[in-house]
Amino acid sequence: MDCSTPFAPRGDKKSVEEGLEFAPKFDQDGLIPALAMDASTKEPLMLAYMNAESLRRTLEIGEAVYWSRSRQEFWHKGATSGHTQKIVEIRTDCDQDALILLVDQAGAGACHTGRSSCFYRKVEAPGAGKSAQLVPIGGEKTFDPGQVYGKP
């Protein structure tokens, strides 16, 4: 194993699928998708990405640390807003190229728009030749992002 990360090298298909060594697969940009869910309600909160180092830090400190693709920097969720995500459980899938984070979400919400979840709209299937529309689903704002992030 590479001593700089706590992950195993990728083995063959059988060892990845049936083994108990954690050998996450990062994509061509070095990232793995991580879907955060509320550990109590199982509501999906947000989908973000981690690189190897942010995943290592997440395991180390027990709070979600993502890699911000837009800012190209580590993103300790809640460092600015106080809305940290305490890790209750991390799951990986059969081919170990995706993560589920079951978290205790601190503060009013996970979404930078001021809502508890980023998934506050559902897709309405379109009629023939029509375009698909979104419908709000209980996504009332639970905090004022201007106040929390200090931006208008």
Q: Residue numbers of the site for a second copy (CB under 8 A)?
A: 1, 3, 6-8, 17-22, 33, 35, 37, 41-44, 46-47, 59-60, 62, 89-94, 98-100, 111-113, 115, 118-123, 125-126, 129-137
What's the token pair of residue 68? 């911000």
The CB-of-82 to a second copy minimum distance in angstroms stands at 19
Which lies closer to a second copy via its Cβ, residue 26 or residue 119? 119
Which lies closer to a second copy via its Cβ, residue 71 or residue 130? 130
The CB-of-134 to a second copy minimum distance in angstroms stands at 5
Contacts for 62 with CB less than 8 Å, ≥ 6 apart: 86, 87
What distances in angstroms separate CA 139 from CA 75, 85, 118, 125, one per listed residue? Answer: 24, 19, 8, 20
The CB-of-55 to a second copy minimum distance in angstroms stands at 9
Residues in the chain: 152
Which lies closer to a second copy via its Cβ, residue 72 or residue 132? 132
The CB-of-47 to a second copy minimum distance in angstroms stands at 4
The torsion angle over the Cα atoms of residues 62, 83, 113 and 70, rounded to 10 degrees, is -40
- Beta carbons of 11 and 23 less than 8 angstroms apart: yes
Residue 147 CA to residue 149 CA, distance in Å, equals 6
